[in-house]
Amino acid sequence: MKTYLKKQEVEFKDPSTGEVLSVLEELETPGTEFLNITLKDEEGWNLDVYENGFVEFYDLNYDKRVIGRNISHERVIQMWRMMQEGKRDQVKKLLKKKPDPEEA
């Protein structure tokens, strides 16, 4: 499934893992101009990532959002890969899972 990375008004189609990691690191840099990035799939599911590991997963057609806190960059990459495979239920489960101590 096609995925996209949106940072401010710029959107990348099918970004590489390196591109996603680079933007995640940029998001955590003090003084960054943007507040969040959005990873989305072609069916309208969005994974909004904010600084400090706050993440929201939702479909634009529904109001219900799954929220995660203290989500590591590695876990964001894992969820993005699940989105590529259409495994939305697994993304939701991973978001609700407590962070591993070594990831925090």
The pLDDT tens digits of the residues spanning 53-71 come to: 999 999 988 878 999 999 9
Q: Report angle CA 94, 99, 102 to the nearest 5 degrees.
A: 130
Tell which residue, 53, 86, 83, 78, has the closest CA to residue 68.
Answer: 53
91 is a domain residue: yes
Q: What percent of the chain has pLDDT over 90?
A: 71
27 is a domain residue: yes
84 is a domain residue: yes
Over residues 77-91, the mean pLDDT reads: 95
Output the pTM of the full model: 0.87
Average pLDDT, the chain: 90
Q: What is the span of the domain harbouring residue 61?
A: 3-96
Q: How many helices (H) and strands (E) does the chain have?
A: 3, 6
Give the pLDDT confidence score for residue 28 in this predicted structure.
87
Give the pLDDT confidence score for residue 63 in this predicted structure.
79
pLDDT at 96 exceeding the cut of 90: no
27, 38 Cβ separation under 8 angstroms: no
Give the pLDDT confidence score for residue 100 in this predicted structure.
58
Over residues 61-87, the mean pLDDT reads: 93
102 is a domain residue: no
How many domains is the chain partitioned into structurally?
1
30 is a domain residue: yes
pLDDT at 89 exceeding the cut of 80: yes
